[in-house]
Amino acid sequence: MTVDIVWLRDDFRLDDQPSIAATADRPALFVHVHDPRPQNGRPLGAAAKWRLAQSLVALERSLALRGARLDVVEGPADRTILALASAADARRVLWTRRYESEAIALDTEVKAVLKAQGVEAQSANGRLMREPWELTKADGKPSGTFSAFWRRHRGLGPLPALQPSPERLASADWPAVAPPRTTIAALKLTPTKPDWSGELSQGETPGEEGARDALLRFAAGALPGYADSRDALAPEGTSRLSAHLRFGELSARRAALAIEDAAAADPRLARAAEKFCSELGWRDFSYALLYANPDLARRALRPEFERFPFRDDEAAFRAWARGETGYPVVDAGMRQLWRTGAMHNRARMIAASFLIKHLLIDWRRGEAWFWDTLVDADPASNPASWQWVAGSGADAAPYFRIFNPVLQGEKFDPDGAYVRRWVPELARLETRHIHAPWRAPAASLLNAGVALGRTYPQPIVDHDTARARALAAFAAIRQGAG
Ligand SMILES: Cc1cc2nc3c(=O)[nH]c(=O)nc-3n(C[C@H](O)[C@H](O)[C@H](O)COP(=O)(O)OP(=O)(O)OC[C@H]3O[C@@H](n4cnc5c(N)ncnc54)[C@H](O)[C@@H]3O)c2cc1C
């Protein structure tokens, strides 16, 4: 019994990777099991599947550079790992913890069987800055507000030390009687007919190296202005680390400590660094919510929202998803999402609010659309954020906060650059009309080549009418609650 098995799932890096650090001095099997069964009720979305393939290819390269090999197997993860452990006469199986209820159940079962067979099973935190159970209140539940959660988080002191990437690694031979291996390409994670992935991850290089470069670029570039301009839609004012974090190409601790180090070297960065770390804190908060509420993507955290009078309106949903609502900033965000799999946080908030509050369409439909189209589609951050926008989640936006998409556009895309980029049919419209083309004089529209209803849609709902309708719907569920 000498071989270690490192079971890799959404932790595709060598740096600050506890399972890899623990096994660095001996030959091991570095295994990714692609389990096509749905996790927590649903399969991976199409864009995330594509992103997973990129991540695996990059990991294969990183391992090869250290002298090791990535072994890929397709099949039920539990049976595959158990069969491999017994074929390899494994000493230990090591993995990064997960927080989705079905994944926890599967890992617990695997751990029990391994132990019964005399194989050590070692799980570690490689995904979060802090584990959900380190942050619960006295009643065992996560804090109800982010600020309380974050105070508790910060109150635990400095994050644990990082574990650097091993210089050398070695792969053990694949056992003769183990489950058969396959290749990343054979998993068919990338679309072919048609291949719609051309623009995905624009401006982002999947993999650990790309993650490190993005972190350095952010620290040297946008960080000083982060606290003040992270909401601006057009410039690259944020880190673009979310997909790297989602697939574990970068540890959240590494990201936080790198930015804190930058602030230690230059105290003027302190406010920006704290803001950035608190955004990573929202990620931990989302995981704490998912851990405590396995149904986060299916059930409103505030029960009265289960009675919300959502409408069935397929045409409106389609217009939203395609970026054809007639509200330029909403459409720009939705088209950025469709083409690149990414979307600015402010645009996510505006578009999500529009679906729920202007169209009164169930937040779960929007969440599912994002799940399928985002390259960073995350089992915790996506549903937690949707519930936050809906007003049904923890520390949620108040129900009466109904974004006006015109004012949001004017505030966060003041020169219209974001709209011009993603909604090119409006590119020539004067800035003062770009967020409300229906208010532009006929001559301006003509000059810009815009024919409303033909080259660009009329608004599918009137803001004031939609706002009044949403407030009435919220009032109805509140009355029911009282
Ligand atoms: C409706 C909606 C859906 C969302 N779905 C996802 C999702 O599926 N996956 C995802 O990673 N983020 C999601 N977010 C959060 C946020 O929009 C993205 O993390 C952010 O836009 C990523 O860009 P960035 O890496 O440049 O962020 P930065 O501003 O540079 O933030 C740094 C990191 O902090 C984390 N973070 C930032 N904001 C949040 C937040 N509100 N909640 C949780 N973590 C956060 C991310 O990991 C991010 O990479 C969603 C937000 C909304 C409003």
> Which pLDDT tens digits describe the chain residue by residue (482 residues)?
689 999 999 999 999 999 999 997 889 999 999 998 887 789 999 999 999 999 999 999 999 999 999 999 999 999 999 999 999 999 999 999 999 999 999 999 999 999 999 999 999 999 999 999 999 999 999 999 999 999 999 999 999 999 999 999 999 999 999 999 999 999 999 988 888 888 887 888 999 999 999 999 999 999 999 999 999 999 889 999 999 999 999 999 999 999 999 999 999 999 999 999 999 999 999 999 999 999 999 999 999 999 999 999 999 999 999 999 999 999 999 999 999 999 999 999 999 999 999 999 999 999 999 999 999 999 999 999 999 999 998 777 777 789 999 999 999 999 999 999 999 999 999 999 999 999 999 999 999 999 999 999 999 999 999 999 999 999 988 876 54
Nearest CA to ligand 1 atom 49: 242
- The helices-and-strands tally (H runs, E runs) of the chain is 19, 5
Range 3-125 has CATH code 3.10.129.10: no
| Ligand 1 nearest-atom number relative to CA 386 | 1
Six-digit token string for 345:
């946080």
Cα–Cα distance list, 323 to 179, 339, 352, 435, 452 (Å): 45, 11, 12, 14, 15
User: How remote is the CA of residue 346 from the centroid of ligand 1, in Å?
Assistant: 10
Contact 249, 211 (CB under 8 A): yes
Q: What is the pLDDT of residue 482?
A: 45
Nearest CA to ligand 1 atom 44: 283
Q: Which residue type does 36 have?
A: P
End-to-end CA distance of the chain: 63
Q: Which residue type does 426 have?
A: L
Name all residues whose Cβ lies below 6 A of ligand 1. Answer: 230, 238-242, 245-246, 279-280, 282-283, 286, 345, 348-349, 352, 370, 374, 376-378, 381-382, 385-386, 389
User: How remote is the CA of residue 419 from the centroid of ligand 1, in Å?
Assistant: 21
Nearest CA to ligand 1 atom 21: 345
DSSP string across 391-419: T-STTPPPTT----HHHHHHHHSTT-HHH
Q: By three-state DSSP, how is residue 42 classified?
A: strand
Q: What is the pLDDT of residue 36?
A: 87
> What's the CA gap between 234 and 432, in Å, rounded?
16
> What's the CA gap between 144 and 234, in Å, rounded?
33
CA angle 440, 441, 442 (to 5 degrees): 115
Q: Where are the alpha helices (DSSP H) in 359-462?
A: 363-373, 381-390, 405-412, 417-422, 442-448
| Ligand 1 nearest-atom number relative to CA 377 | 8
The structure tokens 């609650």 sit at 481
> What's the CA gap between 242 and 220, in Å, rounded?
18
Contact 229, 237 (CB under 8 A): yes
**Substitution site in 385, 387, 388, 392 for ligand 1 pocket (most atoms within 8 Å of beta carbon):** 385
> What's the CA gap between 259 and 379, in Å, rounded?
25
User: How remote is the CA of residue 345 from the centroid of ligand 1, in Å?
Assistant: 6
**Substitution site in 215, 242, 336 for ligand 1 pocket (most atoms within 8 Å of beta carbon):** 242
User: How remote is the CA of residue 214 from the centroid of ligand 1, in Å?
Assistant: 15
Contact 302, 392 (CB under 8 A): yes
User: How remote is the CA of residue 375 from the centroid of ligand 1, in Å?
Assistant: 11
Range 128-162+207-292 has CATH code 1.25.40.80: yes
Burial of 181: CB neighbours in 10 Å, binned 0-12, 13-18, 19+: middle
Nearest CA to ligand 1 atom 36: 279
CA angle 161, 162, 165 (to 5 degrees): 150
Q: What is the pLDDT of residue 463?
A: 97
**Fold of the domain built from segment(s) 303-481:** DNA Cyclobutane Dipyrimidine Photolyase, subunit A; domain 3 (1.10.579)
User: How remote is the CA of residue 380 from the centroid of ligand 1, in Å?
Assistant: 10
| Nearest residue to 277 via CA among 235, 228, 324, 223 | 223
Domain residue limits, the chain:
3-125, 128-162+207-292, 303-481
